Chains A and B, each alone.
Chain A
Amino acid sequence: MPVNLDAIGIQSVELTLAESVEVTRKVETKPLLDKDGRFADAKAFDPSTEFSLKGRGDLPAGVAAGTDGGLAIAGITGGVTIITSVKESQKNDDWNSWECGGQNWPNAS
């Protein structure tokens, strides 16, 4: 893709209330056996994080990255993140509601 000369614009987030934050961290494990076939060691690899958020107001993409301090998806700054579900509902008499979920592989590129 050659140079992009198009004008850009970004919108401000107006208000977000994240009411539900679920995070599951997973690693694959591989037990290692010694020469006698006994358990000797284990290695963890391919860590990943699954997340699911539900809230009201705006759904900025950065919410999926969460915020520092152990809340939400702390630590997602790199790797690969795939958004697996997005649902946004508009309401006339209240803030819009939204749900999103995804998975992050911090060691992927």
Chain B
Amino acid sequence: MKEGQKVQFVRDHEAPLKSSATPMVAAGLASGFAFAGEKPLLDTLEEVDGAPQRTATWSLDGGITATFRPTFKEETIEFAEFRRRFESLEWCAANPDHPIAYLRAFSDKLSSLRNELRAMKPLLLVRRGRRFALIPQDATPEKKARILSELG
């Protein structure tokens, strides 16, 4: 996050691995949009009225624009050719406006995001009045106790 930065938030109450927001974010990244920072996902778990509530917030840089250029020719191809192009990063890089390049980029981004999300656990969100703490589930008991005591 930087001063003057425009941020677009995408938030819902689904686990990111199941949420339709995640493929949408992956599609945005494939199209040239970018995260607002190095830690663009805030995935929290909070007890609300006795039940756990999951909230996932993606932060995207809202100051970036994407341009879609229809520079490719209409053509009819067989699956074997589609596969050859899709599997070739070189072909996609050489044809950056082609729909097959976008499909490949989307596939790669979504796979990467899902791989990283599988390794991440939601943070525990604890509120005390207007203060709140985000605590990793695997934090040591000492660390949890310290942050809870500092939360008041």
Query: Which residues of A are at the interface with B, using a C-beta cutoff of 8 A?
Result: 1-5, 7-21, 56-65, 67-69, 71-72, 76-78, 80-86, 100, 102
User: In chain B, what residue has the closest Cβ to A69?
Assistant: B48
Interface string of B101-139 (1 = CB under 8 A from A): 110110011001100100010010101001111111001
CB within 8 Å: A-B pair count: 179
CA distance A82 to B89 in the complex (A): 36
Q: Give which listed residue, B5, B109, B127, contacts A83 with CB less than 8 A.
A: B5
What per-residue 1/0 map shows which CB atoms of B59-95 lie under 8 Å from chain A?
1001011110100000000000000000001001100
Main secondary structure of the interface of B (DSSP, over half): mixed
B62–A80 CB distance below 8 A? yes
- Could you write out 21 A-B pairs with CB less than 8 Å apart? A3-B101, A5-B108, A10-B40, A12-B39, A13-B41, A16-B123, A57-B134, A59-B1, A60-B37, A61-B1, A61-B7, A62-B59, A67-B55, A67-B132, A68-B53, A69-B127, A80-B62, A82-B4, A82-B7, A83-B2, A85-B3
